Amino acid sequence: MKKHWILAVLAVLTCALVLAGCDSGAGGPAAEPAPAVTQSAAPAATESPDIASESPAVDTAASAASPSASAGGSTLTVSATESVKKMPDIAYVSIGVRTAGATAKEAQEENAYITQSFLDAVKTQGVAEDDLETQSLNVYEDYENPQQTVVENTYRVTIRDIDTVGTVIDAAVAAGANSSYSLSFDLADRDSVYMEALARAMETVGSKAEAVAQAGGYAIVRPQSITEGSAGYSAEPYLAAESAAMDTGAAKGAATPISPQEIEVSATVTGTYIIE
């Protein structure tokens, strides 16, 4: 009986050992899926840098397609100057009175009297009050005769009727004007004449650019820049001496001859053009 009991215990232990071995064998295969999950996650993580690395390629393509100022091609630069000539329609005369006296007061009183006389004289020739402007008034000791004081009073007279220039000068001299004699001519509306010259220069610079481009086998695409140069002005100076009025026209009862010359106004334009 005891022997049978021992055999039963051994049988139970044997079965327990067999079952334990089966449990350990089943636990080994169940742990294997964990590495498989790790392997599948690793490739997924490496795909993210690949997508990010494609972004610079897209930006580079967009940048290359953008236009730039240097992509305009070759350029051609030409300049043109045009002039317009007009007869003057306004004149400026500097007329003065010089007096000398034993004292400054004496010289000044005499100067004031003669100056007023010549101003009244030029007004009778059609010169307006607003066109009479004091240019200078000087009081100094006579260098040749230190005992005397000299007073000089000079006016700028604007004459808007060119045909009366000679008679205005004669009237001033006859009334006592005797110093600072000069004469110049101008255009009352010089700006409008300049704009005319500028328009001509603009037209010429365009034609010149076309001719130069065609001669070189190019075609003009469009202007890149247009620059206005400095304005030009030229007139023959007219110098009138006192003796001309005193010894010629005025002395013989005829107006002093005046012959104004044309005034030339010029404009310059420089153009830069894109060519292909």
- The DSSP code sequence of 4-25 is HHHHHHHHHHHHHHHHHHHHHH
Query: What's the mean pLDDT in 252-259?
Result: 77
The stretches of the chain forming alpha helices (DSSP H) are 2-30, 33-52, 55-65, 104-123, 165-174, 190-215, 242-244
Query: What's the mean pLDDT in 149-158?
Result: 96
Structure tokens at 208: 């010149």
Cβ atoms 175, 114 nearer than 8 A: yes
CA 235 – CA 185 distance, rounded (Å): 8
- Per-residue pLDDT reduced to its tens digit, 196-231: 999 999 999 999 999 999 999 999 999 999 999 988
Percent of the chain with pLDDT over 90: 59
Q: Which pLDDT does position 232 carry in this prediction?
A: 86
Cβ atoms 98, 196 nearer than 8 A: no
CA 184 – CA 207 distance, rounded (Å): 37
| CA distance readout (Å), 195 to 198, 199, 200, 238, 266 | 5, 6, 9, 26, 9
- Residue 92 backbone dihedrals phi, psi, to 5 degrees: -125, 125
- Per-residue pLDDT reduced to its tens digit, 162-190: 999 999 999 999 999 998 778 999 999 99
> Which residue is it, tokens 């404009």?
267
Q: Which pLDDT does position 189 carry in this prediction?
A: 94
DSSP 8-state class, residue 245: I
Q: How confident is the model at residue 253 (pLDDT cuts 50, 70, 90)?
A: low
- Per-residue pLDDT reduced to its tens digit, 27-73: 444 444 443 333 333 344 344 434 333 333 333 222 222 222 335 57
Name beta bridge partners: 79.
Answer: 270
Q: How confident is the model at residue 259 (pLDDT cuts 50, 70, 90)?
A: confident
CATH number of 90-186: 3.30.70.2970
Taking the domains of the chain in order of start, what are their residue ranges? 72-86+191-234+264-275, 90-186
